Chain A
Amino acid sequence: MKSLLSNLSPNKDQIQKLALSTIGFIVLVYVYFSFFLGPLTRSHDSMLVKISDLQSKLGSAKAEMTKASNLEKQASVATSRYAALTSLSPEGAPIAWFPPRMKLFFANLQIDKTTTRLEGNLPYKEADLSGWMRYTWMLDLPQADFDVLGKAVAELENTEALLSINKINIHALPSDPQFQQVSLSVSTAILKR
């Protein structure tokens, strides 16, 4: 009986081998998960995330393109209007083109000797008008008939959509009561170039 038990119980050499096998097993599991299966799983997961991300991007891209195409149709009125408004601001410094334009405008209506002075310019507070500047001008019309002046003001307000008259001063000329001396303080929205 004793000899049977001694045969079944492991001896020292066997215990050492058993321990070695256990260590080998642990090392194998560690190497397998750390250097083989782990990176593979991470790569697998990251690719799945990328695929899902790209698929959602593709989905939203289609919606985005449809939206842009619809917006293009809806914005046709706004774009043509915007083009018309920007065409009121020619290239170059406003001080170079606005006074001659006013002079020509009033000269065409038989009001001569018009002078235009720049009073100042300010940016707009509205974020949407960051590309525009508000210019204030003083227009002096030294001699104008009231009838002609009325026509000129009406014409100016109708043709210069971005111009508004803030102040108007009409004084009869003591030397010739038929005519008036007029000064207009106007502000215009001009596109920054």
Chain B
Amino acid sequence: MALHLNLLHEEFQEQRQRQRDPLKIGMMVLGGLGAIMFIYYMWNAYQTLGIRRQLNVVQESWSKVEPNVTAAQKRSKELNGIISTTKVLDGIIESRFYWAPFLEKLSRCVAPNAQLTSVDGAVLEDNRGVSVMIEGLAAGREPRAAAEELRQLLLEQLGQSYHDVKIEFKTLEDLDTLAKIGGANMAMARFALSVTFNPSNPAKVAPPAPARSKK
């Protein structure tokens, strides 16, 4: 066996130690990692730039559309307000009670031997109905019958247009005075009628004015 002498063992050891230097290896690892991280960062930055460009395009489109949309929204709100206000106003208009048709019916019920002295009518709160107080005079051989005839006729006439019609005498009394009708003296009676009804289906348009005048 040949004798092998290593005369440079110290140099070899130093070289091995330099190769195993942890700081150097760590720096190399760090450098490698740093490079990978840098590449990854750059890739992300590139993607972000792409997204930024996309965002700019979308923002530009939005800035073009936004004023129109805002105007459209404002107009929609305004129109909705107009529609709902008109609807409520129409409701108020349609729920009104029309007095002209009532006055016409009343005038048609008054016979020549009757005279109305006062009519006081009121629409009850929340359109719950109409209340009318009618006072007048009736003349005839049977003045009370003449007053009752008026009540019956009024009940029939109002019943054609309104619901829950109630007409009752509040007072009906004979008078001492006489009235001359057609050249003959007739007895007279004073009456007061309380009229209540529900105009659940009021006439939309008032008809022409009454044809006959109040006696």
Contact = CB atoms under 8 A, between A and B. Distances in A.
Q: Verify that A and B bind, or say they do not.
A: yes
Interface in B67-120: 68-69, 72-73, 75-76, 79-90, 92-93, 96-100, 103-104, 107, 115-120
Interface residues of A, number: 73
A171 B133 CA distance: 11
Query: How would you classify the secondary structure of chain B's contact residues: helix, strand, loop or mixed?
Result: helix
A20 B26 contact: yes
B99 A162 contact: no
Interface string B42-66: 0011011001101100110110011
A75 B85 CA distance: 12
A37 B75 contact: no
Interface in B189-215: 205-214
Contacts of B122: 166-168
A54 B56 CA distance: 11
A172 B116 CA distance: 8
Query: How would you classify the secondary structure of chain A's contact residues: helix, strand, loop or mixed?
Result: helix
A113 interface: no
B107 A150 contact: yes
B79 A150 contact: no
Interface stretch (A99-107, A115-123, A124-132): A124-132
30 contacts: A7-B16, A22-B26, A24-B27, A32-B37, A44-B48, A47-B55, A51-B54, A54-B61, A67-B72, A67-B76, A68-B73, A72-B75, A75-B82, A79-B82, A132-B89, A146-B214, A147-B209, A149-B103, A150-B210, A151-B209, A152-B209, A154-B207, A154-B209, A157-B99, A165-B123, A166-B122, A167-B123, A171-B118, A177-B115, A189-B89
